[in-house]
Amino acid sequence: TPLLSVEGLSASVDEKTILHGIDLAIPAGETHVLMGPNGAGKSTLGHVIMGDPAYTQTSGSIRFDGEDITDLSTDKRSRAGIFLSFQAPVEIPGVPLSSFLRATLAGRPGLKMRGKEFRRRMKELCAELDMPVEYLNRELGVGFSGGEKKKVEMLQLLLLQPKLAILDETDSGLDVDALGVVSRGMDLYRKRTDGTLLIITHNTRILEHLDVDRVHVMVGGRLVHDADASLIDWIDEHGFERFEAMAAEAN
Ligand code: ADP
Ligand code: MG
Ligand code: MG
């Protein structure tokens, strides 16, 4: 059975239906990519899988790691091993990033570590991601650029080592430096934990060094197509017009 299995999932925000009957299965250890035009509902799907209370799931079920999580809180889903990268870290002046990351591990028995071990681990991760270790002393979120927020997400990902990571690259323009950190982070996560990835992106450059197992296309809140990794290059060349036409016909 797949690690994540979404069946007939519909969801709305403010009475407006955004997702229509989504079926999606992701086997453990695979890397899946979700693509589609702006406003298709890609980020919404990530939020609904994570149980974000801003969205109302109106039908369908979500199973994860052998358990029905449809009615679980976001916190419980997170403890079950799902990670969603949407959260831009809040700004808390005076709180260093390292304290925030340490708090990330709190209440997770398997990940608990002493101060010394935590500092050693952070030093290692910064070296692997090619980030200056001084970065950890910065105040949380204060003046972070889009790229810097992505770096924090990669640190969180590698610290938490979730079973499933949903990485929503949003539309934030990442500079070359941040792109490198994100690519390295995803690569380390896959190799170190044999983790499972769902990457939501427009930026196909980020996918160049990844072994992608499956690509899903979302249009108008529906998954209209899926194919192997060769679809990425095809979409790069042709865009989403053909899928938008298919979706229009189906309606
Ligand atoms: P994508 O990530 O594919 O660009 P989104 O999931 O962000 O698409 O958005 C899909 C649709 O749902 C859009 O029409 C968007 O305006 C709407 N939407 C998403 N989140 C919210 C929200 N929190 N409040 C109101 N509308 C939302
Ligand atoms: Mg694989
Ligand atoms: Mg989005």
Integer Cα distance of 44 and 192 in angstroms: 29
**What is each CA distance from 87 to 14, 19, 217, 248, in whole angstroms?**
21, 21, 23, 33
The count of structural domains within the chain is 1
Task: State the DSSP code for 111.
Answer: G
Q: Cβ distance 171 to 145 under 8 Å?
A: no
Domain that holds residue 88: 4-250
Q: Order across the sheet with 196-200: list the strands.
A: 82-84, 164-168, 196-200, 31-35, 214-219, 222-227
pLDDT in tens, 185-228: 999 999 888 899 999 987 787 788 789 999 999 999 999 999 99
Compute the distance from residue 25 Cα to the ligand 3 centre, in Å.
Answer: 20
pLDDT in tens, 21-40: 999 999 999 999 999 999 99
The radius of gyration computed from the CA coordinates of the chain, to the nearest angstrom, equals 18
What's the pLDDT band for 172 if we cut at 50, 70, 90? low
> pLDDT value at position 126?
92
> pLDDT value at position 170?
62
- Average pLDDT rounded to a whole number, residues 149-170: 89
User: Is the pLDDT score of 174 beyond 80?
Assistant: no
> pLDDT value at position 87?
58
Interface confidence (ipTM) of the complex: 0.94
CATH code at 134?
A: 3.40.50.300
> pLDDT value at position 107?
73
> pLDDT value at position 86?
63
Among 16, 38, 44, the mutation site with the greatest number of ligand 1 atoms within 8 A of its Cβ is 44
> pLDDT value at position 68?
98
**What is each CA distance from 205 to 139, 153, 168, 185, 209, in whole angstroms?**
30, 19, 15, 14, 8
Which bound ligand lies closest to the C-alpha atom of 211? 2
pTM (predicted TM-score): 0.93
Which bound ligand lies closest to the C-alpha atom of 32? 2
Q: Does residue 43 have its Cβ closer than 6 Å to ligand 1?
A: yes
Q: Whose CA is nearest to atom 7 of ligand 1?
A: 43
- Average pLDDT rounded to a whole number, residues 49-54: 96
**What is each CA distance from 44 to 41, 51, 154, in whole angstroms?**
5, 10, 21
The SS3 assignment for 135 reads: helix
- Per the model's pLDDT, the better-predicted residue between 179 and 57 turns out to be 57
pLDDT in tens, 97-151: 898 888 888 878 788 888 899 999 999 999 998 888 888 888 887 777 777 888 8
Integer Cα distance of 224 and 250 in angstroms: 9
Q: Does residue 1 have its Cβ closer than 6 Å to ligand 1?
A: no
CB atoms inside a 10 Å sphere around CB 207: 22
Q: Where are the beta strands (DSSP E) in the chain?
A: 4-13, 16-26, 31-35, 56-64, 67-68, 82-84, 92-96, 139-140, 164-168, 196-200, 214-219, 222-227
> pLDDT value at position 209?
78
pLDDT in tens, 59-96: 999 999 999 999 999 999 999 999 998 655 677 888 88
> pLDDT value at position 189?
94
